[in-house]
Amino acid sequence: MFDTPRTWLRLAAIIRILAIHDIEPIAERFFPYRVLTWLAGINPATYRFRRNNSSGARIRLAMERLGPTFIKFGQAISTRVDAIPDDMGLEMKKLQDDVPPFPFAQVRAIVEGCLDGPLEQFFSRFDEKPVASGSIAQVHHAFTRQGREVAVKVKRPGIN
C-alpha cells in the first residue's frame, strides 16, 4: 500500500493538511502520522484553527483543501446526518453546494489548452466568475464569436 515515494508524499501532504486544520485526533489513528509529521518538519501546535472553527468546519475545510476525492467523501457523509454529529452534518452539507471555485487563471489555461488558442479567438465574452462550482468541475457563462450564448463546463485541474 505504501510502496512508492509518490504514495508516501501524498500521505505526508494529507497528514500536513489534517495538522494545519487541527485534526490530529483523526490523523493520529494512522500509523505513520508521527513519523510523517517529523519527516515533513510539521509542528501541529503552530496550526490552530480550533479557536475560530468547530470540529465540523475544520474537517470540511481540510476536505476542500485535499481535493475532489475528499469532497466527494464529505458529500457522501452529508447524507448520513443520523450517523454524525450535528455540527459536522451541517458543515458536510456545505460541500453539496458551496465548493469553492478554482482560480480563473487555471480556467483560462485549461480552456485555451483544449481549444488550441486564446479565449478571445472563440468567445466574445467569457465570465470570470463561475455560475456554479462543484467537486469535479465548474461552469462559466460565455458568448461565442457568432453570438451564441453557451455554458462552458471546465474540469478541475488534476481530474482525468
pLDDT attached to residue 48: 55
pLDDT attached to residue 49: 53
Residue 107: is it exposed, middle or buried by C-beta count within 10 angstroms (0-12/13-18/19+)? buried
The DSSP line for 89-106 is HHHHHHHHH-PPPPPHHH
Residue 37: is it exposed, middle or buried by C-beta count within 10 angstroms (0-12/13-18/19+)? buried
Residue ranges of the chain with per-residue pLDDT less than 70? 1-2, 24-51
pLDDT attached to residue 33: 55
pLDDT attached to residue 45: 56
pLDDT attached to residue 112: 97
